[in-house]
Structure 1
Amino acid sequence: DLSKWQTGNVTDMSEMFIGASSFTSDLSEWQTGNVTGMSGMFSYAAAFTSDLNEWRTGSVTTMSLMFAGAENFNGDLSEWQTGKVTNMSWMFCSASSFTSDLSKWDTGNVTDMGGMFWGAESFTSDLSKWQTGNVTDMRSMFSGAKSFTSDLS
């Protein structure tokens, strides 16, 4: 049980649970306010479903591959602070159950969204208000996102 770990001084959680396919611990109370790196944190943690909406993510700059292959993850991330994030590439790649509302995310500093929702078959969030003026890579962003129908015009 990792739910009571003291994580307030941690600055990098990248690849922390990568490939932990049976990992299911509750991490909802972790202190993440000092974390800047979360790349690949839950990549291929197929069974992971913990609620992370209370996490403080305002210092994070990179979230690439964070939930890639986390096929059962569908946690609410609607209140995450993403204003400092520059890299969201492949973040939800093959996260086939993910449907969280990301409409309020601040994406103004993001430069890489390549493959972000690739294979996220259930994803349907309205992204029409996302700021994408600084994005330079959107390749394969919605490839295989079968349920995505948001009007981006």
Structure 2
Amino acid sequence: MAAYFSYNNQTVKADTTIGIQKMLTINNDLTANKSTTSLLLTPLTDAIVSSGKDGTCTWDIDSDGKLTIHTGVLTTDQGSWISYASSITSVYVDKGVSILGTGKDYGPFSGLTNAKTIDVTNLDVSNAAALKAFFRNDSNLIQIIGLNTWNTSKCTDMSYLFLGDNSLTSMDISKFDTSNVTNLNYTFSGVDFTKSDPNEIKNWNVSKVDTMSYLFNKTIFDSLDLSNWNISSVTKMNGMFSGDSNIDKVKNIADWDTSKVTSMISMFSNTKETDLSFPKITRTS
């Protein structure tokens, strides 16, 4: 972490060649031996290098690349901080921040390709009808903190939510309320479940989901238990498991009720040969 000091009413960066402790020692000597205080070194917080507004929320980025979002309501589009994406290494949401949903192809935290951690513990999504593409294409994102605190009961669209997030090792989504979700297109496309826990979605309620196209497209996993999923409302499963090398590790999908499915185009394209059957299917196109 960079350290900054106030020197003669100017903000200066600590000289790392002599170290912060030595600078503080010099400061103490100056205090003890000089009558003037014009040379006193006062530690400051990390300097703000960028700032702006998104919806009614103000935000700032400090010299360490931490994006902090302050109280208010975010817009439903990609965050206005996207112009500074290359410098953002972490995200923290203050208390009192909410969002009413996302309606665009890129959500508020999408495209933050250098961010390693995003803390959304304080983000209120309880009135969000869509969480579409919320973290889309955050390719270096390792940890999303606070997803287990989200109230997603009103959400109907979780498509593209984690698309392309292939570095994630922690994203507790086991408590997501998916009872009203109808769209799961591309939700986990490109996610590496060998780095996280795929069992977090084992008991998701997907009974109202209409489309699951490309849901697990190019997803990596050692095992995937979807035996508790009720997909009886699903009509589209195009490319759902396309590009998945371990398709034989998906448990009990042959027992799914696919009676309403009208399209399975490329559902298992570019997967290794295995014996999968859907005896309840009526027709495909």
After TM superposition, the score normalised by the length of structure 1 is 0.89
Higher strand proportion, which one? 2
1:34 and 2:154 equivalent?
yes
Alignment of structure 1 residues 4-153 onto 2, 5 Å = 4-23=122-141, 24-26=143-145, 27-49=147-169, 50-72=171-193, 74-76=197-199, 77-97=201-221, 99-123=223-247, 124=249, 125-146=251-272, 149-150=275-276, 152-153=278-279
Change in Cα spacing, 1:11 to 1:118, as seen in structure 2 (3 Å) is: same
CA contact (8 A) 1:14 1:41 kept: yes
Residue 97 of structure 1 and its aligned partner are, at CA, apart by 2.3
Change in Cα spacing, 1:111 to 1:140, as seen in structure 2 (3 Å) is: same
- Structure 2: distance between partners of 1:114 and 1:97: 19
CA contact (8 A) 1:113 1:141 kept: yes
Residue 74 of structure 1 and its aligned partner are, at CA, apart by 4.3
Q: Which amino acid aligns with 2:235?
A: T
Q: How far does the alpha carbon of each residue in 1:36-70 deviate from its partner, in whole angstroms, 9 at most, with x for none?
A: 00111110011224131221100000000111111
Which structure has the bigger radius of gyration?
2
- Structure 2: distance between partners of 1:43 and 1:135: 24
CA contact (8 A) 2:258 2:278 kept: no
Q: Which amino acid aligns with 2:168?
A: F
CA contact (8 A) 2:184 2:209 kept: yes
Change in Cα spacing, 1:75 to 1:30, as seen in structure 2 (3 Å) is: farther
Two-structure CA RMSD over aligned residues (Å): 2.0
CA contact (8 A) 1:103 1:126 kept: yes
- Structure 1: distance between partners of 2:226 and 2:274: 13
Deviates more, 1:20-29 or 1:83-92: 20-29
Q: How far does the alpha carbon of each residue in 1:105-132 deviate from its partner, in whole angstroms, 9 at most, with x for none?
A: 1111101001101112234221122110
- Structure 2: distance between partners of 1:120 and 1:30: 29
Deviates more, 1:97-106 or 1:127-136: 97-106
- Structure 1: distance between partners of 2:191 and 2:222: 9
After TM superposition, the score normalised by the length of structure 2 is 0.50
Higher helix proportion, which one? 2
- Structure 2: distance between partners of 1:74 and 1:17: 18
Unaligned runs of 5+ in 2: 1-118, 280-285
Residue 2 of structure 1 and its aligned partner are, at CA, apart by 1.4
- Structure 2: distance between partners of 1:151 and 1:99: 19
Q: Which amino acid aligns with 1:144?
A: N
Percent of residue pairs identical? 29
SS where residue 128 of structure 1 aligns? Answer: helix
Task: Work out the number of aligned pairs and report it.
Answer: 153
Change in Cα spacing, 1:145 to 1:29, as seen in structure 2 (3 Å) is: farther
Q: How far does the alpha carbon of each residue in 1:90-110 deviate from its partner, in whole angstroms, 9 at most, with x for none?
A: 000001226331011111110
Residue 151 of structure 1 and its aligned partner are, at CA, apart by 5.3
Q: Which amino acid aligns with 1:54?
A: K
- Structure 1: distance between partners of 2:154 and 2:269: 33
